[in-house]
Protein backbone atom coordinates (compact mmCIF):
# COMPACT_ATOMS: atom_id res chain seq x y z
CA UNK A 1 0.00 0.00 0.00
CA UNK A 2 1.17 3.53 -0.76
CA UNK A 3 2.42 5.83 1.96
CA UNK A 4 0.03 8.48 3.26
CA UNK A 5 1.90 11.29 1.50
CA UNK A 6 1.55 9.44 -1.82
CA UNK A 7 -2.23 9.12 -1.50
CA UNK A 8 -4.53 11.93 -2.71
CA UNK A 9 -5.85 13.81 0.30
CA UNK A 10 -9.46 12.78 -0.35
CA UNK A 11 -8.44 9.09 -0.26
CA UNK A 12 -6.43 9.25 2.97
CA UNK A 13 -7.91 7.18 5.83
CA UNK A 14 -9.11 10.04 8.03
CA UNK A 15 -10.60 12.02 5.15
CA UNK A 16 -12.19 8.88 3.67
CA UNK A 17 -13.81 8.05 7.02
CA UNK A 18 -15.23 11.52 7.42
CA UNK A 19 -16.58 11.49 3.88
CA UNK A 20 -17.91 7.94 3.53
CA UNK A 21 -18.05 6.47 7.02
CA UNK A 22 -15.87 3.95 8.87
CA UNK A 23 -17.41 0.94 7.09
CA UNK A 24 -15.64 1.95 3.85
CA UNK A 25 -12.16 1.62 5.36
CA UNK A 26 -10.02 -1.49 5.58
CA UNK A 27 -8.85 -2.71 8.99
CA UNK A 28 -5.41 -1.38 8.20
CA UNK A 29 -6.78 2.10 7.45
CA UNK A 30 -8.93 2.12 10.60
CA UNK A 31 -5.96 1.24 12.78
CA UNK A 32 -3.80 3.83 10.99
CA UNK A 33 -6.25 6.50 12.18
CA UNK A 34 -5.93 5.27 15.78
CA UNK A 35 -2.12 5.25 15.52
CA UNK A 36 -2.02 8.75 14.06
CA UNK A 37 1.52 8.51 12.71
CA UNK A 38 4.19 6.03 11.81
CA UNK A 39 7.90 5.81 12.61
CA UNK A 40 11.13 6.61 10.78
CA UNK A 41 11.20 3.00 9.58
CA UNK A 42 7.51 2.41 8.83
CA UNK A 43 4.81 4.75 7.57
CA UNK A 44 1.57 4.59 9.53
CA UNK A 45 -0.14 2.19 7.11
CA UNK A 46 2.76 -0.27 7.15
CA UNK A 47 2.86 -0.09 10.95
CA UNK A 48 -0.90 -0.69 11.11
CA UNK A 49 -0.52 -3.71 8.85
CA UNK A 50 1.93 -5.35 11.23
CA UNK A 51 -0.41 -4.82 14.17
CA UNK A 52 -3.50 -6.08 12.32
CA UNK A 53 -1.68 -9.33 11.58
CA UNK A 54 -0.97 -9.88 15.29
CA UNK A 55 -4.53 -9.00 16.31
CA UNK A 56 -5.91 -11.45 13.75
CA UNK A 57 -3.68 -14.17 15.14
CA UNK A 58 -4.53 -13.48 18.79
CA UNK A 59 -8.25 -12.83 18.32
CA UNK A 60 -10.10 -12.09 21.55
CA UNK A 61 -6.97 -12.99 23.53
CA UNK A 62 -5.14 -9.90 22.21
CA UNK A 63 -3.45 -7.72 24.84
CA UNK A 64 -1.30 -4.59 24.74
CA UNK A 65 1.82 -6.67 25.48
CA UNK A 66 1.42 -8.53 22.18
CA UNK A 67 2.52 -5.50 20.16
CA UNK A 68 5.03 -3.68 22.38
CA UNK A 69 7.92 -5.48 20.70
CA UNK A 70 7.09 -3.81 17.38
CA UNK A 71 9.51 -0.91 16.82
CA UNK A 72 7.65 2.35 17.32
CA UNK A 73 4.90 0.87 19.48
CA UNK A 74 5.50 1.86 23.07
CA UNK A 75 3.29 1.33 26.08
CA UNK A 76 1.14 4.38 25.32
CA UNK A 77 0.18 3.34 21.77
CA UNK A 78 -0.21 -0.31 22.75
CA UNK A 79 -2.50 0.67 25.61
CA UNK A 80 -4.59 2.93 23.36
CA UNK A 81 -5.09 0.17 20.79
CA UNK A 82 -5.91 -2.41 23.45
CA UNK A 83 -8.38 -0.03 25.10
CA UNK A 84 -10.14 0.65 21.77
CA UNK A 85 -10.28 -3.09 21.08
CA UNK A 86 -11.83 -3.82 24.50
CA UNK A 87 -14.24 -0.88 24.28
CA UNK A 88 -15.76 -2.24 21.08
CA UNK A 89 -15.61 -5.89 22.22
CA UNK A 90 -17.80 -5.09 25.22
CA UNK A 91 -20.47 -3.55 23.02
CA UNK A 92 -20.46 -5.81 19.97
CA UNK A 93 -20.07 -9.33 21.30
CA UNK A 94 -20.73 -12.31 19.04
CA UNK A 95 -21.98 -14.28 22.07
CA UNK A 96 -25.72 -14.75 22.01
CA UNK A 97 -26.21 -14.05 18.30
CA UNK A 98 -28.91 -16.48 17.20
CA UNK A 99 -28.11 -18.43 14.04
CA UNK A 100 -31.10 -19.39 11.89
CA UNK A 101 -29.10 -20.04 8.74
CA UNK A 102 -25.28 -20.48 8.54
CA UNK A 103 -24.77 -17.31 6.41
CA UNK A 104 -26.08 -15.33 9.42
CA UNK A 105 -22.48 -15.40 10.69
CA UNK A 106 -21.19 -13.36 7.73
CA UNK A 107 -21.37 -9.97 9.53
CA UNK A 108 -18.96 -11.37 12.14
CA UNK A 109 -16.31 -12.33 9.58
CA UNK A 110 -16.86 -10.03 6.60
CA UNK A 111 -13.91 -7.82 7.60
CA UNK A 112 -11.61 -10.68 6.54
CA UNK A 113 -12.96 -10.61 2.98
CA UNK A 114 -10.35 -8.24 1.60
CA UNK A 115 -7.31 -9.93 3.15
CA UNK A 116 -4.59 -10.95 0.73
CA UNK A 117 -4.08 -14.28 2.52
CA UNK A 118 -6.63 -16.95 3.26
CA UNK A 119 -7.98 -16.79 6.82
CA UNK A 120 -9.62 -20.00 8.01
CA UNK A 121 -12.20 -19.19 10.68
CA UNK A 122 -14.11 -21.34 13.16
CA UNK A 123 -17.37 -20.22 14.77
CA UNK A 124 -18.49 -22.17 17.86
CA UNK A 125 -22.24 -22.66 18.28
CA UNK A 126 -24.07 -23.81 21.42
CA UNK A 127 -27.16 -26.02 21.72
CA UNK A 128 -29.46 -23.01 21.33
CA UNK A 129 -27.86 -22.12 17.97
CA UNK A 130 -26.15 -19.10 19.52
CA UNK A 131 -22.63 -17.95 18.65
CA UNK A 132 -20.16 -18.64 21.44
CA UNK A 133 -16.92 -17.43 19.83
CA UNK A 134 -15.25 -16.59 16.53
CA UNK A 135 -11.57 -17.36 16.01
CA UNK A 136 -9.00 -17.45 13.20
CA UNK A 137 -7.59 -20.97 13.10
CA UNK A 138 -5.04 -20.53 10.36
CA UNK A 139 -3.62 -17.89 8.03
CA UNK A 140 -2.28 -19.25 4.77
CA UNK A 141 -0.53 -18.26 1.58
CA UNK A 142 -2.11 -16.12 -1.10
CA UNK A 143 -4.21 -18.98 -2.44
CA UNK A 144 -4.36 -21.61 0.28
CA UNK A 145 -4.20 -22.27 3.99
CA UNK A 146 -3.29 -25.43 5.85
CA UNK A 147 -5.88 -26.63 8.31
CA UNK A 148 -5.92 -29.66 10.58
CA UNK A 149 -9.04 -30.87 12.42
CA UNK A 150 -7.26 -30.75 15.79
CA UNK A 151 -6.63 -27.01 15.33
CA UNK A 152 -10.26 -26.42 14.44
CA UNK A 153 -11.83 -28.44 17.26
CA UNK A 154 -9.41 -27.98 20.18
CA UNK A 155 -11.06 -24.83 21.54
CA UNK A 156 -14.52 -25.94 20.41
CA UNK A 157 -14.31 -28.95 22.73
CA UNK A 158 -13.05 -26.89 25.68
CA UNK A 159 -15.94 -24.46 25.19
CA UNK A 160 -18.42 -27.39 25.26
CA UNK A 161 -19.91 -26.20 22.00
CA UNK A 162 -22.35 -28.45 20.19
CA UNK A 163 -21.73 -27.33 16.62
CA UNK A 164 -19.38 -25.33 14.42
CA UNK A 165 -19.45 -23.33 11.23
CA UNK A 166 -16.16 -22.92 9.41
CA UNK A 167 -15.39 -20.29 6.81
CA UNK A 168 -12.53 -18.85 4.83
CA UNK A 169 -11.97 -15.98 2.44
CA UNK A 170 -10.88 -16.41 -1.17
CA UNK A 171 -8.36 -13.62 -1.88
CA UNK A 172 -8.40 -14.24 -5.63
CA UNK A 173 -12.13 -13.58 -5.83
CA UNK A 174 -13.49 -16.85 -7.24
CA UNK A 175 -15.96 -18.41 -4.81
CA UNK A 176 -15.85 -21.86 -6.42
CA UNK A 177 -14.62 -24.46 -3.88
CA UNK A 178 -11.22 -25.88 -4.74
CA UNK A 179 -10.38 -29.57 -4.49
CA UNK A 180 -8.59 -28.78 -1.21
CA UNK A 181 -11.72 -26.97 0.09
CA UNK A 182 -13.84 -30.03 -0.61
CA UNK A 183 -11.35 -32.40 0.99
CA UNK A 184 -10.92 -30.40 4.20
CA UNK A 185 -14.70 -30.11 4.50
CA UNK A 186 -15.03 -33.90 4.33
CA UNK A 187 -12.25 -34.32 6.91
CA UNK A 188 -13.83 -31.83 9.29
CA UNK A 189 -17.28 -33.40 8.94
CA UNK A 190 -15.88 -36.85 9.73
CA UNK A 191 -13.89 -35.54 12.72
CA UNK A 192 -16.91 -33.61 14.03
CA UNK A 193 -19.07 -36.73 13.96
CA UNK A 194 -16.49 -38.67 15.95
CA UNK A 195 -16.39 -35.87 18.54
CA UNK A 196 -20.16 -35.68 18.77
CA UNK A 197 -20.29 -32.26 17.10
CA UNK A 198 -22.21 -30.97 14.09
CA UNK A 199 -20.48 -29.21 11.21
CA UNK A 200 -23.29 -26.89 10.13
CA UNK A 201 -21.59 -25.40 7.09
CA UNK A 202 -18.39 -24.36 5.37
CA UNK A 203 -18.67 -20.89 3.88
CA UNK A 204 -16.31 -19.37 1.33
CA UNK A 205 -16.60 -15.60 1.04
CA UNK A 206 -15.13 -12.49 -0.54
CA UNK A 207 -16.08 -8.83 -0.75
CA UNK A 208 -18.85 -9.52 -3.25
CA UNK A 209 -20.58 -12.63 -1.94
CA UNK A 210 -20.31 -16.11 -0.50
CA UNK A 211 -20.61 -19.81 -1.26
CA UNK A 212 -22.25 -22.20 1.20
CA UNK A 213 -21.44 -25.92 1.09
CA UNK A 214 -24.89 -26.61 2.55
CA UNK A 215 -26.70 -24.48 -0.02
CA UNK A 216 -24.61 -26.14 -2.71
CA UNK A 217 -25.62 -29.61 -1.42
CA UNK A 218 -21.97 -30.51 -0.78
CA UNK A 219 -22.24 -31.09 2.98
pLDDT band for position 205 (cuts 50, 70, 90): very high
147 has pLDDT over 90: no
29-36's contacts with Cβ under 8 Å and 24+ in sequence apart are 31/81, 32/4, 34/80, 34/81, 34/84, 35/77, 35/81
**How confident is the model at residue 203, as a pLDDT?**
95
Q: What is the pLDDT of residues 30-61, one digit of tens each?
A: 999 998 888 878 888 889 989 988 887 777 67
Q: Does residue 6 or residue 11 have the better pLDDT? A: 11
Q: What is the pLDDT of residue 141?
A: 61
* Residue where one domain finishes, among candidates 91, 118, 147: 91
169 occurs within a structural domain: yes
47 is in which domain, residue-wise?
Answer: 4-91
Instruction: Sort strands 119-125 and 198-205 into parallel, antiparallel or unpaired.
Output: unpaired
Q: Are residues 117 and 63 in the same domain?
A: no
In a domain, 219, yes or no: no
Residue 212 confidence (pLDDT)? 95
109 and 201 part of one domain? yes
pTM (2 decimals)? 0.65
Mean pLDDT of the chain: 86
Task: Yes or no: say if 151 and 121 are a contact pair by the CB < 8 Å rule.
Answer: no
Res 91: pLDDT: 60
pLDDT of residue 160: 92
Q: Which of 92, 95, 89 is nearest to 60 (CA)?
A: 89
Backbone angles phi, psi at 20, to 5 degrees: -110, -15
Amino acid sequence: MKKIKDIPQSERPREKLLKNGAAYLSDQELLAIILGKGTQKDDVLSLAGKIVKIIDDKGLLFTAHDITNIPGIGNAKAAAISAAFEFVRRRIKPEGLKIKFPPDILPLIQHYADRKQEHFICISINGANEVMSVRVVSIGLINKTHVHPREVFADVISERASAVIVAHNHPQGDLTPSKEDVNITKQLKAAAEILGLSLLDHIIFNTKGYYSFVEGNEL
